[in-house]
Amino acid sequence: MKIDGAAAIVFGGASGLGEATVRRLVAAGAEVVIADLNEQRAQELAADVGAHAAACDVTDPESAAAAVSRAVALGGRGLRIAVISAGLGTPAKLIGRDGPTALESFAKVIQVNLIGTINALRLVAGAMVDNSPEDDGERGVCVCTASIAAYDGQIGQVAYAASKGGVVGLTLPVARELAGKGVRVVTIAPGLFETPMLAGLPDSAREALAGVTPFPARLGRPAEYAELACHIIGNPMLNGEVIRLDGALRMAAR
């Protein structure tokens, strides 16, 4: 899929991995809609890079549909690219100090990370299948975001690991369903990255986390996620796959 001249939408695009992807796509010539719950930050980034902003809650059908419609309205070659990186990682053990943790603590994470991904996928796929096929028959590419927690979930990542495991699990069946329409689906499972999720940790904790990655022995850079996302978009043989982007990291139990 050629990025230049395509319309794209990045869910969770106002910060972290999503922001880096927005910047990379705009630099490659895409018309990008930044769909994010933080509308103010989305607007600031859009003004900075020459993109478009849309307030979006991925768990809300109407909100997400409006953001997709904004991307479709950009015209050109149509909405060809979607990157879904909206999510949260609120930790919670199954059993807390006062007994079983409230169910709502798990439901919120799963609602955003898994149901939100499905919601975004169904809407962008619905738009992409109406595109005219390009020379290679492609109509669109969807890049989802999981986590190595889907495979190596730590204590306290009950909901987070389950939600990201769900994203891993849906990748192949969705890719198979959309294959006949010329729409590819690939998921990236990042390791430890320099994102707002880790920004609140003390420097000592961040350094300790960076040191557990075999090579390179540091936190991943959002630009490296963006680079992989753009390679996926441009490589038509990548489909139905989950790619770990983690420097060979395998997380310990805690």
- pLDDT tens column, 37-73: 999 999 999 999 999 999 999 999 999 999 999 999 9
Q: How many CB atoms lie within 10 A of CB 148?
A: 19
CA 241, CA 170: separation in Å to the nearest integer?
10
Helix (H, G, I), strand (E, B) or coil at 16: helix
The residue behind tokens 């669109």 is: 140
CA 61, CA 55: separation in Å to the nearest integer?
13
Question: Which listed residue (160, 170, 195, 229) is catalytic?
Answer: 160
Q: How many residues does the chain have?
A: 254
Specify the pTM.
0.95
Give the per-residue pLDDT at 106: 95
**Would residue 151 show up in a list of annotated catalytic residues for this protein?**
no
Pull the structure tokens for residue 226: 């963006």
CA 60, CA 149: separation in Å to the nearest integer?
25
Give the per-residue pLDDT at 47: 98
The domains located in the chain, with CATH, are 7-191+222-244 (3.40.50.720)
Give the per-residue pLDDT at 217: 87
- pLDDT tens column, 71-116: 999 978 899 999 999 999 888 999 999 999 999 999 999 999 999 9
Cβ(56)–Cβ(64) under 8 Å?
yes
Strand boundaries in the chain, DSSP class E = 7-11, 31-36, 52-55, 79-84, 95-96, 99-100, 140-145, 183-190, 242-245
CA 45, CA 12: separation in Å to the nearest integer?
12
- Residue 253 or 204, more confident: 253
Span 6-26, mean pLDDT? 97
Question: What is the identity of the amino acid at 103?
Answer: L
Average pLDDT across the chain, whole number = 94
Give the per-residue pLDDT at 226: 98
Question: What is the identity of the amino acid at 243?
Answer: I
205 has pLDDT over 70: no
Give the per-residue pLDDT at 89: 87
- pLDDT tens column, 129-167: 999 999 889 999 999 999 999 999 999 999 999 999 999
